């Protein structure tokens, strides 16, 4: 990332991430299609409404590991192999502990969170089963993401793609076996996901044990060094707080959607499944920009950093805007993949045609946040997203739905808050001259 063509380096790094996440989205959609086809609307509602609750628990822990990725990338840019190795081993040790915590929390508090979300009684049994089985694979989820963070910090986004290919194929085959053939209900879909995630984690961790470079993991060296963990958490904790609070806001949004019934849950849930594809270029370029920024700031290549970030932002916005346009046009067909119920399709299409034209703003906010995280300035995106995507979003929905009890008022919460965060990020990026501030500090 510190040498050669900027555009080529960013694109070659982002492409495997894009393809890997594409596979994840495809097998998540296969989950929903199989469940909707074989188990009906209530089961589909239980599965498709899972995103906000899963992100609440998983997003917090994965956010913590953003700090380790930045620290490892910085050591790599500085060519500090000893510091890199210690950071990687600390990250893995903390990953195992965090994964165990996630399993315990996910299994025990799932019913409480579902009731707080106002999940309808006819959907509740399937939701509890799905979430509890899904979170049994929480340790694998965290370990895999920890390993991926190490690979990506080193500039290697290809190996995680290879593991996801195996995981995606396994998940689809197990979905068909458990749900379509054996009739295991929504628990079968959750079990398929948990097993495939475990396979992915084993492959990634085994690869790190066999690496030749300074990021190789040795079992006897896995330990949590307090000073290193503190440095990683200093960067990662604001991202974790941001993820969890945004997830809480989305849980509030989901709770308001739940109040409109199972049809609204299934329609909106189907929309969010398709929307996941929009996050592919956004997340890919955001992660590429985080790694690019951390490595080049570590190497003190400040002008290269500025050129790379401008290119990444432009590409992220262009890709998201194009996908948004395609989604707007083909919304009835895409939502119709999940169900033939015209009322469910109508809800999904209504949400799509409210939000899709604003995807470029969503990309702008995420790319800006990725750049600042790579530079170690994680508190800025945390505060901006907490204010816009949490406080303002919740306040808007609380009053808007009471004044106008129409589900479209909920859908408008997203474009409005994306717009506000984009304005604030742009002002900071243009006015703060953050790269030169780092140059002076160094």
pLDDT, tens only, 346-364: 988 999 999 999 999 999 9
Give the mean pLDDT of 167-171: 85
Per-residue pLDDT tens for 376-423? 777 888 888 888 888 898 899 889 888 998 888 999 999 999 999 999
Whether the CA torsion 58, 64, 66, 72 is positive or negative: it is negative
* Least confident range of 34-38, 85-89, 151-155: 34-38
How many helices (H) and strands (E) in the chain? 20, 0
106 vs 358, more confident: 358
pLDDT digit string (tens) for 115-151? 776 677 777 777 788 888 888 888 888 888 888 888 8
How buried is 76 (Cβ within 10 angstroms: 0-12 exposed, 13-18 middle, 19+ buried)?
Answer: buried
Structure confidence at residue 124 (pLDDT): 78
Q: What is the pLDDT of residue 433?
A: 58
> According to the model, what pLDDT value does residue 421 have?
92
What are the pLDDT digits (tens) for 295-340?
787 777 878 888 888 898 898 899 889 989 999 999 898 888 777 7
Angstrom distance (rounded) from CA 360 to CA 319: 8
Per-domain residue ranges of the chain: 6-441
Calculate the average pLDDT of the chain. Answer: 81
pLDDT at 420: 94
Tokens matching residue 126: 């399937």
Q: What is the pLDDT of residue 56?
A: 64
pLDDT greater than 80 at residue 57: no
Higher-confidence residue of 419 and 245: namely: 419
Tokens 């500085």 correspond to 78
pTM listed for this prediction = 0.68
Q: Residue 7: is its pLDDT beyond 80?
A: yes
User: Alpha-carbon distance 269 to 22, whole Å?
Assistant: 18
| Res. 435 pLDDT band, cuts 50 70 90 | low
Average pLDDT over residues 368-375: 84
């Amino acid at each position: 990332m510190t040498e050669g063509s900027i555009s080529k380096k960013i694109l070659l790094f982002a492409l495997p991430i894009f393809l890997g996440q594409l596979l994840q989205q495809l097998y998540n959609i296969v989950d929903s299609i199989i469940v909707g086809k074989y188990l009906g609307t209530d089961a589909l509602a239980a599965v498709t409404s899972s995103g906000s609750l899963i992100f609440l628990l998983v997003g917090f822990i994965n956010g913590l590991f953003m700090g380790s990725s930045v620290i490892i990338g910085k050591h790599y840019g500085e060519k500090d192999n000893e510091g890199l190795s210690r950071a990687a081993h600390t990250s893995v040790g903390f990953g195992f502990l965090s994964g165990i915590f996630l399993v315990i929390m996910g299994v025990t508090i799932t019913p409480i969170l579902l009731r707080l979300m106002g999940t309808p009684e006819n959907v509740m049994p399937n939701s509890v089963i799905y979430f509890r089985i899904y979170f049994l694979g929480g340790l694998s989820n965290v370990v895999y993401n920890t390993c991926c963070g190490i690979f990506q910090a080193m500039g290697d986004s290809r190996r995680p793609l290879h593991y996801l290919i195996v995981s995606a194929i396994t998940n689809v085959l197990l979905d068909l076996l458990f749900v379509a053939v054996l009739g295991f209900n929504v628990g079968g879909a959750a079990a398929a996901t948990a097993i495939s995630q475990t396979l992915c984690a084993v492959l990634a961790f085994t690869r790190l044990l066999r690496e030749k470079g300074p990021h190789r993991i040795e079992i006897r060296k896995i330990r949590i060094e307090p000073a290193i963990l503190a440095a990683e958490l200093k960067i990662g904790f604001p991202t974790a707080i941001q993820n969890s609070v945004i997830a809480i806001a989305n849980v509030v949004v989901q709770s308001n959607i739940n109040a409109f019934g199972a049809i609204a849950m299934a329609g909106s849930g189907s929309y969010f499944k398709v929307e996941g594809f929009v996050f592919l270029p956004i997340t890919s370029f955001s992660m590429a920009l985080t790694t690019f920024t951390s490595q080049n700031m570590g190497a003190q290549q400040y002008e290269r950093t500025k050129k790379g970030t401008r290119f990444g932002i432009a590409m992220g916005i262009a890709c998201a805007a194009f996908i948004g346009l395609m989604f707007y046009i083909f919304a009835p067909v895409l939502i119709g993949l999940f169900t033939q119920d015209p009322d469910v399709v109508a809800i999904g299409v209504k949400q799509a045609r409210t939000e899709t034209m604003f995807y470029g703003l969503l990309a702008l906010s995420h790319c800006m946040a990725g750049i600042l995280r790579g530079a170690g300035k994680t508190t800025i995106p945390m505060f901006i997203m907490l204010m816009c995507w949490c406080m303002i979003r919740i306040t808007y929905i609380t009053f808007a739905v009471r004044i106008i009890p129409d589900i479209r008022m909920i859908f408008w919460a997203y474009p409005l808050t994306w717009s506000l965060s984009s304005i604030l990020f742009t002002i900071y990026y243009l006015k703060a001259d953050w790269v030169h501030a780092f140059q002076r500090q160094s």
